[in-house]
Amino acid sequence: MTNVTEANAPICAHPDNPHYFLFRGRPTILVTSAEHYGAVINKDFDYVKYLDWLKSYGLNYTRIYPGAMVEPKDKYIVGNTVAPRNEALLVPWARSDQPGYALGGNKFDLSRWDSEYFKRYRSFLAEAGKRGIVVEVCFYNAQYEYTWPLSPLFHKNNIQGVGNCHFNDAQTLKHAGLAKAGEEYVRKLVVETAGFDNVILEICDEPLLLGTPADEAGAWIARMVETIRAAEKDLPRPHLIAQQVEGKLGGPCDFSGDPRVGLIVTQYTWDSSGEQLGGMRALEVKYQYDKPIELNETNYYPVWYKGDTVAASRVEAWEFIVGGGAGFNQLNGLYTAALPDGNTPDNIQICTALRNLVTFMGSFDFVKMRQDKQTVTGVPKGAICRCTSEPGRQYAVYLHHSKGERAAVYEVQPGDYRAELQLDLPAGRYRAEWVDPAGGQTVAGETFVHAGGKRAVASPAYKVDIALRVKVR
């Protein structure tokens, strides 16, 4: 096992501002539009083409499910990458000589690892690392009634007979043999990441979604956290551990205050299914924990969006990151085994807007900036506005017109808009520039000397959204 040294220490919270990341010596925000987590388990998926596409747009983040959950072919969307055909399925466990796997072929032997899988796993991490792309390895997702019978951990799919239980019990400590097999799976994947600086380790996506009791899921998650810590105990700088907040805030599946868990994970814009903490709400209720906050799954593009789907994708990314988020991942069904780079007119627009977001935030010394709820006043009726700033020095502002606040996804409301914002600024000389998020261009600007207090700034015309950059001169 290769030790992680300071020279190649893994991505971590930035020591000067833990709302952002430190990666390869640089302050970092993670932004992407990514495939549905099947890049490694689906041998039909050309991940080099996919990673090249992300890099070409300056995107630096992706996420994988490494094998505990498999979805039925074409579930949700044709070409769903985490639902490979059986001949293309590759998971950590080796096949046995006994027939009977649910999707065809032989059952799995949970006592043996598949060397072909781990070769592909390490290759994927390495190719991502060459391109400066961080990989979030999400060991588990909530098992559904239709996914649990496909999992190698389901009792009919492995020769050990492990996993003879209801899907709601699969990710608890109620079944010792299953829990042990799960710990070994996590430990092996963690050991294989040693030496990779571009990895975040995430325990479980949506642990309560389908009825698993919160206290049972929470105890199981805590066990997996300890499994990771034990596997990395000899490393001077272990990998970041992430866990989604689900259920009651402060409850058994809220690890925001746990010092072992370094990344607060959220999904969707505001809320979904009454259980999941949305990214925008997390900016309101979790920012005080001084940890990076990540919105690591949106609605599934394009099937769960309404109206102008491209604009809806853009506004959720821009609002979250300009509002103080550290990582954003759009779940994008345009990436398939047949089209691994997702090269469609829609995706070009989506990824261009994300590149513009990366450029916009990169125009600031953002590690000195924090969430700001005081500077911007006088927001137009119906507009949603976010701001981060280094008071008196630099301000990033974003506003958009959408409905769906407090829901899982936005639906943009195009119109003929002009905004006049009131900014409460210290005395100084400032440059204000309005930026088009879709195109990336600076569309208007002014330099002004301000005596301190409220100052009105008027935008040019826009249709859905607009960003404002203000810096002291």
Say which CATH number the domain at 122 has.
3.20.20.80
Predicted local confidence at residue 147, as pLDDT: 97
Residue 5 falls within a domain, yes or no?
no
Tens digit of pLDDT for each residue in 10-27?
999 999 999 999 999 999
| Burial bucket for residue 451 (CB in 10 Å: 0-12, 13-18, 19+) | exposed
Same domain assignment for residues 272 and 391: no
Torsion sign (Cα): 45, 46, 47, 49: negative
Q: Which amino acid is at 417?
A: Y
Same structural domain, 320 and 431 = no
d(CA 77, CA 83): 10
Q: What is the pTM for the complete model shown?
A: 0.96
Domain span at 136: 11-367
Specify if 111 maps to a domain: yes
Q: Are residues 381 and 331 in the same domain?
A: no
For residues 61 and 199, is the Cβ–Cβ distance under 8 A? no
Q: Among the residues of 63-164, which ranges form H helices?
A: 115-130
Asked, for residue 2, whether it belongs to a domain, the answer is: no
Pair (220, 165) in one structural domain: yes
Domain end marker among 367, 382, 416: 367
Is the same domain home to 284 and 414?
no
Flag whether 415 is in a domain.
yes
Phi and psi at residue 131, to the nearest 5°: -100, 10
* CATH assignment at residue 381: 2.60.40.1180
**Are residues 334 and 401 both part of a single domain?**
no
Residues 304 and 415 in one domain: no
Q: Give burial (CB, 10 Å; 0-12/13-18/19+) of 271.
A: middle
Give the residues across from 266 on adjacent strands: 295
- The tens digit of pLDDT for each residue in 397-410 reads 999 999 987 789 99
* Model pLDDT for residues 176-192, shown as the tens digit of each residue: 999 999 999 999 999 99
Of 367, 384, 410, which marks where a domain is finished?
367
Q: What span, in angstroms and rounded, lies between the C-alpha atoms of 42 and 27?
A: 33
C-alpha–C-alpha distance, residues 317 and 412, integer Å: 13
Same domain, 321 and 385: no
Token digits of residue 326: 């550290």
pLDDT > 80? residue 2? no
Residue 163 has pLDDT above 60, yes or no: yes
> Beta strands of 364-419 (E only): which ranges?
370-371, 376-377, 383-390, 394-403, 411-412
Q: Cβ distance 308 to 414 under 8 Å?
A: yes
Is residue 362 located within the same domain as residue 395?
no
Residues 145 and 53 in one domain: yes
Percent of the chain scoring above 90 in pLDDT: 93
Strand residue runs (E) in 26-149: 26-28, 30-34, 61-64, 93-99, 106-113, 134-141
- Note the pLDDT tens digit of each residue in 103-147: 999 999 999 999 999 999 999 999 999 999 999 999 999 999 999
pLDDT for 5 equals 42
Say yes or no: 344 and 386 in one domain.
Answer: no
Highest mean pLDDT among 235-239, 273-277, 313-317 belongs to 313-317
**Within a domain: 130:** yes
- On whether both 352 and 397 belong to a single domain, the answer is no
The number of domains in the chain is 2
Closest-CA residue to 223 (of 183, 250, 254, 193): 183
Does 431 fall in a domain? yes
DSSP state of 260: T
Tell me the DSSP string of 176-222: HHHHHHHHHHHHHHHHHHTT-SSEEEEEEESTTTTS--HHHHHHHHH
DSSP 3-state of 417: strand
Predicted local distance difference test score (pLDDT) of residue 274: 66
pLDDT value at 279 more than 50: yes
Asked if residue 1 is part of any domain, the answer here is: no
What would the pLDDT profile of 55-92 be if each residue is shown by its tens digit? 999 999 999 999 999 999 988 999 999 999 999 999 99
* Residue 3 falls inside a structural domain: no
Q: What is the DSSP letter of 68?
A: S
Compute CA 91 distance to the chain's CA centroid, rounded to the nearest angstrom. Answer: 22
Find the mean pLDDT for residues 337-343. 97
Dihedral over alpha carbons 321, 131, 349, 397 (to 10 degrees)? 20
Structural domain ending residue among the three candidates 337, 367, 397: 367
Question: What SS3 class is residue 377?
Answer: strand
Average pLDDT over every residue of 159-173? 97
